[in-house]
Amino acid sequence: MFFFGVRGEAEVVAALLMAVVAVGGFALLWVWLYPSYLSWEQRASRTLLEARLAAKERLVVERVKCAGAGLSVSITNTGDVALRVLAVYVNESLAWSGALDLAPGANSLVTASASCGRFYLVKVCSARGNCWSFLEEEAWGG
């Protein structure tokens, strides 16, 4: 017989075709899902980095002094990372808002619009969501 060895070829070709279809399907699925995976991984890495940086933020209000039209608040970054101060509250009222960048160890004065008194509850909030509260007595002299 002439076609004696052809009998098993159909099964081999079918198995190879099935393997190609399976590998091709997984490849298409990977090409479709991989960009989503990469963007998720980048978002997770950025979120973790911001959380670590937020944990290293430290801030101290050194002095509060009555200054003409409001209060002069001295703020020092005592943490390990640069931070951005977005708001200062005095006695639970927004007294200053803006963007004040402080490098580690840097000090800056903020003029807050609040009435003068003897004791102040000063709350300072950063761009990373941290807020620090201080009970301050007005500084006299320099």
Where are the chain's structural domains? 4-54, 58-137
Asked whether 17 and 9 are in contact (CB, 8 A), the reply is no
- Does this model's pTM top 0.75? no
Q: In the structure, what pLDDT confidence band is assigned to residue 25 with cuts at 50, 70 and 90?
A: very high
Say what the pLDDT of residue 27 is. Answer: 94
Q: Note the pLDDT tens digit of each residue in 74-120.
A: 999 998 999 999 999 999 999 999 999 999 999 999 988 888 888 88
Which amino acid is it at 122?
V
Architecture, CATH, for domain 58-137: Sandwich (2.60)
